[in-house]
Chains A and B, each alone.
Chain A
Amino acid sequence: MAELLEIRNLRIEATIWPPGEAARDVPIVDDISFTLARGKVIGLIGESGAGKSTIGLAALGYGRGGVRITGGEVRLDGQDILSLGRGGLRSVRGARVAYVAQSAAAAFNPAHRIGDQVIEAAIRHGILDRAAARRRAAHLFEVLGLPDPERFGARYPHQVSGGQLQRAMTAMALLPGPELVVFDEPTTALDVTTQIDVLAAIKAAIAETGTAAIYVTHDLAVVAQVADDIMVLRQGRMVEHGPAEKIITDPEAAYTRRLVTVRTAEGAEAEDQSDRLLDIDGVTARYGELTVLSDVTMHLPRGQTLAVVGESGSGKSTLARVVTGLLPPAGGRVFYRGRPLPPALRHRTRDDLRAIQMISQMADTAMNPRHTVAQIIGRPLRFYFGLRSRRRRDRVAELLHQIELDPSLAHRYPAELSGGQKQRVAIARALAAEPEIILCDEPTSALDPLVADGILKLLLRLQAETGTSYLFITHDIAIVRAIADSVAVLHRGRVVRFGPKREVLAPPFDDYTDLLLESVPELRTGWLESVLRTRRMGSAGH
């Protein structure tokens, strides 16, 4: 059978302007070759900067943000896409090859109805007339499991949820009946319980329309559910390429093996959890009229880790704001060492502030881009302990050593560090205050899996060394399993479940915890089907 897509020796370059040096070209993607048969799905997987999205877009003959396709061939059904002119490309894009972006919320125009945007490409290309396009859209909405498929298109993007919007975008891509669809991390921005639905919908739609697909993601467990073949990429080069089953169960390259067994961080669960350092007692929090937390009660034992797990909108970050004093609660109190903490930040003493430090999700924005690493880490030393000049420099070097960074990085600016290094500096800044409690607000969710694993290991080691307690906010059950001593499950601002890890993560479950746990993708093919089957059986039984 003839191959639909054939990519041979693809090379993509970009020009960079390092400060103080001459501009030069660097390869983003180098020497990538693969073929894709009709109706098949290939998964491109790798860390950020691996060039996976760039390759996906190259299938549309497109180079994003100034990158140029400088070598190789991209053939669609034997036709060289790269030699097509603007007009030729326009007739291919959206009609024969379609694209589904990571953030549907950013990709939809908020001023137009969803339905009009979904059918636009098919009408522009003259594939369907308006009435037929609307009928097909309604059909695709149904296949994708969207509510009220006949009238769904009449809504505006802000009136539907993120998961629904992502499915609408899939409908948009599939509507003109393309031969190839490029999915660029379509479920990455979604919650796990939503991700599983979208994943199932995408898989069903691919099967129904018989289109081929390139599925780009950094999550091996996700791609294992949809892809026939998987290509592992690293720094723009191919590491390994083969059938999905083989990559997962029997990887050859060392890098792939590391990806497969990525979670190596593991802490033992503490037995005695009676020494309470932080008590959150009946906290209710509001933003204006909107109640975000209602009657939340939990406690954090000294020297241990309390994981607060929940989906976006569950109020877990708001809880951190209440504990730090950024958002005084509408009701309830927070006790530190049995003593109530003043609700508002400005009433807390400097020592209270020192004792509770925070690490946030985006290390990028959490550090002043115009301060050097030494200034960032040195400020708490000066502020809380009055350390100056020589002694401060020494302590900064000591802290950098402790977080496994080279002391020579002290003079760099945050922009000159990698994502993992930035998060380490943020940890060092928190450690500099010699805190009792560190609030970790999704510190690893913006990082690649291997880097995230390193950060978790570091946090565990630091806890063992310094006895610091962590209030760890996350949406990732795997992290909870790895590091928590006790767990609180938050759902819509309420504590669904709280207790030692061994009790919370063991049956019998309540409905929500059950849903949350089973939605976490497992690294085996066929996982998606088995979950969906159990669910159907479950709902049939009810």
Chain B
Amino acid sequence: MTARGIPVGAWIGLAGVGLALVCAAFAPWLAPYGESEIVGDIWQPVGGDFVLGTDNIGRDLLSRMIYGARTTIFVAMAATLLSFSLGTLLSFTAAVLRGWPDQALSRLNDLMMSIPTLIFALVVLAVLPQEMWILILVMAVLDSTRVFRLGRAVAVDIAVMDFVEAARLRGEGTVWIIFREILPNALTPLLAEFGLRFAFSILFLSTLSFLGLGIQPPAADWGGMVRDNKDGIIFGIPAALIPGAAIAVLTVSINLVVDWLSNRTASLKGGRS
């Protein structure tokens, strides 16, 4: 694989994701000020003493953005990984075993999906203590219902293929069939879905933070920053738009990278589809 083989879109995506990751990893060194340090007046304009201005209580917006990248990406990534592990494992198990395990899991999944996600999350998070791991867990469980749907549909198709039958004839156990026969062949659609789901996770986290049930102040996260600064929009102050734009750019970048990855894995090894 040479650098020239990567299409322009993928480069843009890689640059965007790379920037966000660097910010997340090296936040304390990159940020000019502390995460919740009040350094100036409220809503100071862009440029001047502060590159992106200050927020509603006079904290440096650039520093908050950099620290926010860390929280936002970590929580969204953890929630997405967890939801994929959970959703994929359960859906593949359902598809391979069929019969009553399939029925039980699928109906439970339908039940979960029939409750609107945001309301579900709001109720659960309002009741439970506000800790980050609980937030991640709730997001992951809610998201895993979507992964389950996709995973089961893909796996049911693969599970009836001759090579899975050959594995059954050999006497292979369910674990081998799930992880060695089905998973590698389901990777392409799952990867594409991963990109989408990660983007949705960021949006969902931002929504929760905006509603006050996500990341708790004074910790910075992009969705929460939009909420903090939303009143400024009325006075023509762009402080709320900057984290909003960051969310949009990261979402688009991730999808560009995932598109490229899923094309690549599909063309290699003569994968199915």
Known contacts A326-B168, A360-B162; decide if A368 and B181 are in contact (CB<8 Å). yes
Interface flag for A127 (CB, 8 Å): no
Residue of A nearest to B166 (CB): A366
The CA of A348 and the CA of B99, in the complex, are separated in Å by 21
> Which of B27-35, B43-51, B235-243, B264-272 faces chain A?
B264-272
Interface flag for A379 (CB, 8 Å): yes
Interface flag for A255 (CB, 8 Å): no
Residue of B nearest to A370 (CB): B184
Contact: B271 with A369, CB < 8 Å? yes
Interface flag for A365 (CB, 8 Å): yes
Contact: B168 with A345, CB < 8 Å? yes
| CB-defined contacts of A324 to chain B, threshold 8 Å | 169
Q: Which of A403-418 contact B (CB under 8 A)?
A: 413-416
Contact: B166 with A358, CB < 8 Å? yes
| CB-defined contacts of A358 to chain B, threshold 8 Å | 166, 169
Contact with B along A15-36 (1 / 0, CB 8 A): 0010110000000000000000
Q: How many residues of A contact B (CB 8 A)?
A: 31
Contact: B169 with A353, CB < 8 Å? yes
Residue of B nearest to A350 (CB): B171
| CB-defined contacts of B262 to chain A, threshold 8 Å | none
| CB-defined contacts of A350 to chain B, threshold 8 Å | 171
Interface flag for B172 (CB, 8 Å): yes
Known contacts A366-B163, A367-B163; decide if A413 and B270 are in contact (CB<8 Å). yes
Candidates A368, A379, A415; contact of B185 at CB < 8 Å: A368
Interface flag for A462 (CB, 8 Å): no
Interface flag for B41 (CB, 8 Å): no
Residue of A17, A19, A354, A429 ringed by the most chain B CB atoms within 10 A: A19
The CA of A365 and the CA of B167, in the complex, are separated in Å by 12
| CB-defined contacts of A413 to chain B, threshold 8 Å | 269-270
Interface flag for A385 (CB, 8 Å): no
Residue of B nearest to A426 (CB): B166
The CA of A120 and the CA of B245, in the complex, are separated in Å by 56
Interface flag for B134 (CB, 8 Å): no
Residue of B161, B180, B269 ringed by the most chain A CB atoms within 10 A: B269
Interface flag for A362 (CB, 8 Å): yes
Residue of B nearest to A415 (CB): B270
Contact: A326 with B162, CB < 8 Å? no
Contact: A362 with B271, CB < 8 Å? no
Known contacts A345-B169, A350-B171; decide if A416 and B163 are in contact (CB<8 Å). no
Interface flag for B129 (CB, 8 Å): no
Task: Looking at the assembled complex, report how far the CB atom of A40 sits from the nearest CB atom of chain B, in whole angstroms.
Answer: 41
Q: Which of B103-141 contact A (CB under 8 A)?
A: none
Contact: B267 with A19, CB < 8 Å? yes
Residue of B nearest to A345 (CB): B168
Residues of B that sit less than 8 Å from A by CB: 1, 5, 161-163, 165-166, 168-172, 180-181, 184-185, 187, 267-272
| New A-B pairs, 12, CB < 8 Å, besides A367-B163, A379-B170, A429-B166 | A17-B267, A345-B169, A353-B171, A354-B171, A357-B169, A362-B162, A365-B163, A368-B180, A369-B185, A383-B171, A413-B269, A413-B270
Give 6 nearest A-B pairs by CB, closest first.
Answer: A415-B270, A370-B184, A366-B162, A365-B162, A353-B171, A413-B269
